[in-house]
Structure 1
Amino acid sequence: MTLRMTLRAIMLDCPDPPALAAFYQRATGWETHPESTAEFIGLAGEGGLFIGFQRVDGYRAPHWPDQTVPQQIHLDFEVDDLDEAEARLLTLGAAKPPHQPAPDRWRVLTDPAGHPFCLLPRR
């Protein structure tokens, strides 16, 4: 028998949950979960998906593509226009690492806490 599982939430460790949640809220337009606190903030997205940001003391940001502190997880976002989405996210506080494996096919950015995420053209 196959176990049926549905992804409902993704949690990201970070040093400052309010700041990181604000970045992703501005980027996605998702709403803050009403039970959020300064230690843990959640954003409710489409189809019931939830992204949580939890405070971790001594947090060490990953470094793309260096594996001294591995990326652990990254998120992929589909966008209508790679250049436009990249420009908007950079103004919101994202950074663009110099290493871009396939910039004509996808873009790697990092959020304000250093987590890498990718922008992919919408299918």
Structure 2
Amino acid sequence: MTLRMKMTAITLDCPDPEALAAFYRRATGLAPHPRSDGDFAALVFEDGLVLGFQRVDDHRPPRWPDPGASQQFHLDFDVPDLDQAESMLLAEGATKPEFQPGGSRWRVLLDPAGHPFCLCPS
């Protein structure tokens, strides 16, 4: 028998949950979760999936693409225009690492807490 699980949340460790939630809110337009507080903030997708951000005081971000401090996970976002999305996200506080394994097929950016995420053409 296979256990069927439904994913309800993805939570990222970070030093400032409210700031990171604000970054992703500006990037995605997702609504804030009503139970956000100083140590936890979250956004809610239309289907109920929660993207959460929890405070970790000694948070050490991954160092993309250093395998000694690996990315641990990453998020992928489809966007209609790679250049436009990259420009907007860089203006909002994302950074673009030098290493770009996707060439022109996708872009790797780092959120303000250092988590890598990819922009993919939709």
Partner Cα distance (1:78, 1:25) in 2: 15
Structure 2 CA distance, aligned partners of 1:83 and 1:113? 22
Q: Is the 8 A contact 1:60 1:69 kept in 2?
A: no
Query: What residue number does 2:121 align with?
Result: 121
Cα distance, 1:68 vs. partner?
3.0
1:64 aligns with 2:64: yes
**How far did 1:79 drift?**
0.8
Following superposition, the deviation at residue 103 of structure 1 comes to 2.5
Cα distance per residue 1:35-80 (max 9 Å; x no partner): 1100000111131111000000111011110123221111011111
Residue 47 of structure 1: aligned partner: 47
The letter for the 2-side match of 1:118 is C
* Superimposed CA distance per residue, residues 91-110 of structure 1 (whole angstroms, 9 cap, x where no aligned partner): 11100000001131110000
What is the one-letter code of the residue matched to 1:79? V
| In 1, Cα distance between equivalents of 2:109 and 2:97 | 6
Tell me the amino acid that sits aligned with residue 7 of structure 1. M
Q: Distance in 2 between matches of 1:19 and 1:43?
A: 12
* Displacement after TM superposition at 1:89 (Å): 0.6
Q: What's the secondary structure of 1:35's corresponding residue?
A: coil
Hey, what does 2:110 align to over in structure 1?
110
Superposition CA RMSD, Å: 1.0
Greater than 2 Å deviation, 4+ residue runs: none
Contact 1:15 1:113 in 2 (8 A): yes
Give the corresponding residue for 1:8: 8
Distance in 1 between residues matched to 2:42 and 2:87, nearest whole Å? 25
Identity among equivalent positions (%) equals: 63
| Alignment: residue pair count | 122
Unaligned runs of 5+ in 2: none
Deviates more, 1:34-43 or 1:67-76: 67-76
Tell me if structure 2 keeps the 8 A contact 1:100–1:108: yes
